[in-house]
Structure 1
């Protein structure tokens, strides 16, 4: 059998030292920098490398851009919700002021003396939403999503952007019960904008119907007349729209007219 020979590694390898290699590569780098700065020979290579790496750069920035857009979305959503809440609050205040201005205009036309009128005090408003109708089928009540924690108190009037809706009758920490004007146990002092005639509107227990009871048959009231709160009860601020007269019936044999009104609020 042929003899097997094993190559024995030398104890010390001969070759270029590490310092020499570092110096060589450093010198080569300096030369390339000088040549590129003078002759711009590497611009084409840079453009090619940039073109190749562009899709990878774009892909790497996708998570960052998505996170930034998500943050902007939630920030914008919060700002829009705050603006919406503020605008709804302002809408309620403006609706109340507008309704009171209509009463003032009618009083100015009728040359009423301003000194005989009570000073109107702005009412603090709380914006709420209807959660559901009350469980009692024989009443006209709804439940709002605002309660004593938000400053709601029993007896406060409830309005929307059109007119009076009802009155807060029970308050809980986070909800409140509102009895609508159409409830059979509700009554609200009103007056006719056209001539200042005062009366009381009563609920009938039916949706969309109010009655003006005990009005003389010769009372100056017509179909289409606007009814607003008179304010004499101290509960409802004066000048808020309540209803319009839908039907006026008078009979010679009756002492009182039959007057049916259609509520505006709600």
Structure 2
């Protein structure tokens, strides 16, 4: 009897996987099931939260005193930088007025917390505690305190699934912060692995270069840090160099994230948008790259 039950469960599981792969209606079912599972995820994360709270309460006084001293030093350092930034901000405003350039506005965001990580070693995804009721949408950029984490690929009422930048199916357009060269960055399927695609052997890219979002695809606003180049290999006779980078986001340690709400990109003919002066062909190519990455990630789910 147990053998028949196992066989029936296996057949049912295969049938569900086939239906999920072939029919898009299962996305709605998955979202509803995620809503039902959300309380379970909260209960599972409760012991960890309790332990963290207990560790904070039982911290030694010397540790707290040392941390307080270090924070005071950081406050002094940041205060010095703020004093300098006030002058630079005023100068920036004057230069924008001189060039008749549009003012860049702050991008609104909401905070989110990690609920769970995907146990599959071949995928890099996580679940956060914000969903449709909070205004989260598919394709929304996700950040941590250091840089870009990934983008939302599925949304339910109370939680959302996020595809990390290190996943092999994730790609996004980036540019080198030092000189503005634009490339496509793809995940390598490792915790600290990213590949810069189709880099000409003569391109000016070096170890240590910071890679930031270019804003070409219309999905990620420009200027946010994504990765830092850690290796550039030039193979003799090959037209392209092999460039590897590490994400600047703390993907294995961060528990709190920011969900950005970037403004709608304007048409290439418009003024003031962050897609305004870009080549339409380049915009379309970058948008297609990012769209294919999200589509393939949704198909795998």
**TM-score range for the pair, normalised by the shorter chain length:** 0.5 to 0.7
Structure 1 residues 230 and 203, CA, compared in 2 at 3 Å: closer, same or farther?
same
Q: 2:129 aligns with which of 145, 154, 158?
A: 145
**1:219 is the counterpart of 2:164:** no
**1:194 is the counterpart of 2:149:** no
**1:179 is the counterpart of 2:179:** no
Q: Equivalent residue for 1:60? A: none
Match of 1:127, SS? strand
Question: How far apart, CA to CA, are the structure 2 residues paired with 1:208 and 1:125?
Answer: 26
Q: 2:228 aligns with which of 236, 244, 249?
A: 244
Q: Equivalent residue for 2:19? A: none
Q: Equivalent residue for 1:154? A: 138
> What is the aligned residue count?
160
Q: Equivalent residue for 1:73? A: none
Map Cα deviations across residues 6-30 of structure 1 (whole Å, 9 max, x no partner): xxxxxxxxxxxxxxxxxxxxxxxxx
Query: Over aligned residue pairs, what C-alpha RMSD do you find?
Result: 2.8
User: Is the 8 Å Cα contact of residues 126 and 152 (structure 1) preserved in structure 2?
Assistant: no
Match of 1:126, SS? strand
TM-score between both structures, scaled by the size of structure 1: 0.55
**1:204 is the counterpart of 2:188:** yes
Quote the offset at 1:151 in angstroms: 1.4
User: Is the 8 Å Cα contact of residues 162 and 264 (structure 1) preserved in structure 2?
Assistant: yes
Question: How far apart, CA to CA, are the structure 1 residues paired with 2:182 and 2:188?
Answer: 19
Correspondence 1:3-42 to 2 at 5 A: none
Quote the offset at 1:116 in angstroms: 11
Match of 1:128, SS? strand
Match of 1:182, SS? coil
Gaps (5+ residues) in structure 1? Answer: 1-100
Quote the offset at 1:252 in angstroms: 1.8
Structure 1 residues 115 and 191, CA, compared in 2 at 3 Å: closer, same or farther?
farther
Question: How far apart, CA to CA, are the structure 1 residues paired with 2:101 and 2:137?
Answer: 27
Task: Give the number of the structure with larger relative contact order, counting CA–CA contacts within 8 Å between residues 6 or more apart.
Answer: 2
Q: Equivalent residue for 2:154? A: 170
